Amino acid sequence: MNELWHIQKTLFEIIEEARPHLKQHETASANPIVKKVVEFAFIISGIY
């Protein structure tokens, strides 16, 4: 459980670090890579 929480935390940290590098008009949901990471994080949190 702790390992999965750590993975989820790491994914959100990656998103936070990537956010300033996104084009200003591009939202996180519009960016396909960020969208996939977010979906993966929610899948992990949903299953566990």
Report yes or no on 29 lying in a domain: yes
Report yes or no on 17 lying in a domain: no
Report yes or no on 20 lying in a domain: no
Report yes or no on 33 lying in a domain: yes
As a whole number of angstroms, the distance between CA 4 and CA 32 comes to 23
Percent of the chain's residues with pLDDT above 70: 67
Report yes or no on 37 lying in a domain: yes
3-state secondary structure of 19: helix
Model confidence over 16-32: pLDDT tens digits? 777 776 665 555 556 67
What lies within 8 Å, CB to CB, of 29 at 6+ separation is: 35, 38
Tokens of 25: 């008009």
pLDDT of residue 36: 80
Report yes or no on 19 lying in a domain: no
Model-wide pTM > 0.85: no
Percent of the chain's residues with pLDDT above 90: 0
pLDDT of residue 41: 77
